[in-house]
Amino acid sequence: MAVWCFGSINIDHFYALEHLPAPGETLAAQSYRVELGGKGANQSVAAARAGAAVRHLGAVGVDGAKALFELEAAGVECHAVQRLEGATGHAVIMVDQAGENSIIIHAGANREMALAPVLEALADAEPGDMLLIQNETAHQAELAEAAMRKGMQVIYSAAPFDVEAVRAVLPFVSLLVMNAVEAAQMQAALGLRLDEVPVETLVITRGAEGASWLARGQPEIHVPAQPVHVVDTTGAGDCFTGALAAALDASSAPKEAMRFASAAAALQVGCVGTAGAMPRRAEILALIDERR
């Protein structure tokens, strides 16, 4: 089987700071670097390094050649990525000494891509393949519906949280992944308890408190977070989701897949960076074996 990821491709500009700026405050950066990012690219790289065959659907602008090179170098197939005029999506990411971050995103090509070529590329997918989607592109609901009609499993990261996007996509979702803040936002916006959310499975990540798998009619599965020294939390949720998809695509049982994803995220937050910090399958398995 294969993991298809329809998602953003960004150029991330990182600024290391002593602390995150207060309103009106000007700070000198301690360091600066540029990396591949975007929730879609992050999840594609995470899934590929975790062992899945990954095909990315998305778009870059005229400045996107390096981003595509890095995706392909990570093992992600990119032949269906659209090349557009204008700018590739980008993000400004500020990270403090505790590893916490604040992020500003410009969508660029991620919101400008045409729907028809994406649907045409998805025609090669097989029943049982997985589709990863997030909220940083156009056409999420259309892709989710097309994937579900093909018998694919649709994994939706409802981030950045957008209630209208959630309403549009939820009818076509197999597995919804949210962090605790996003889950609270969804409950408040939709007026639903977690057990009333109309999806087969809901996964909630809670940082240092671990993650929960909530499947309709089944006991909750809770996996604790792996103890780790946190260097940079940017992309941790994407790492978890990509690794989870790779494990499920390899037919792992839910608890095993959650442990695998938790270990991947622990390794990722112990490093600097986003897509470039995604761990490889051997590293993830080694950590799991070490902490049994």
Q: What is the pLDDT of residue 175?
A: 98
Q: What is the pLDDT of residue 257?
A: 98
Give residue limits of the domains in the chain: 3-18+32-290
Q: What is the pLDDT of residue 107?
A: 94
For residue 168, what are the contacts with CB-CB under 8 A and spacing of at least 6?
Answer: 140, 141
- Classify burial at 10, counting beta carbons within 10 Å of its beta carbon; exposed 0-12, middle 13-18, buried 19 or more: buried
| Pick from 138, 134, 141, 140: nearest CA to 182 | 134
Q: Let me know if 129 is a catalytic residue.
A: no
Catalytic residue among 12, 232, 238, 249: 238
CATH number of this structure's domain 3-18+32-290, picked from the four choices 3.40.1190.20, 3.40.190.10, 3.30.420.40, 3.90.470.10: 3.40.1190.20
Q: What is the pLDDT of residue 120?
A: 97
Q: What is the pLDDT of residue 98?
A: 86
Residues found in the chain? 292
Q: What is the pLDDT of residue 226?
A: 85
* pLDDT, tens digit, 9 for 90 and up, residues 195-219: 899 999 999 999 889 999 999 989 9
Q: What is the pLDDT of residue 126?
A: 96
Angle between helices 39-49 and 65-73 (to 10 degrees): 20
* pLDDT, tens digit, 9 for 90 and up, residues 6-43: 999 999 898 999 999 999 999 999 999 999 999 999 99
The one-letter amino acid code at 246 reads A
Low-confidence residues in the chain, pLDDT < 50: none
Q: What is the pLDDT of residue 290?
A: 87
